[in-house]
Amino acid sequence: MRELVATGYLHNRARMWMAAIRILKLRLWWEAGADLFMRDLRDGDPAPKTVSWRWVTGPPVDKS
């Protein structure tokens, strides 16, 4: 997170690790992570970033 905030960049592998930790370990919704990346990444692009976050989450989960 420090690198992301300081530079606006993270290596793709670090992005995947961050997504996996936020979603699978911390049980946060993927939308929150995608919003974080879109806000802080200099190379943020909504389409591939959203697909990547959803890919990390696995099958859809019922929010109810």
Look at residue 55 and tell me whether its pLDDT is greater than 80: no
Q: What percent of the chain has pLDDT over 90?
A: 0
Q: How far apart (Å, rounded) are the C-alpha atoms in residues 11 and 26?
A: 21
Look at residue 22 and tell me whether its pLDDT is greater than 80: yes
Residue that wins the pLDDT comparison between 3 and 47: 3
The DSSP line for 20-45 is HIIIIIS---HHHHHHHHHHH-TT--
| Banded pLDDT at 62 (limits 50, 70, 90) | low
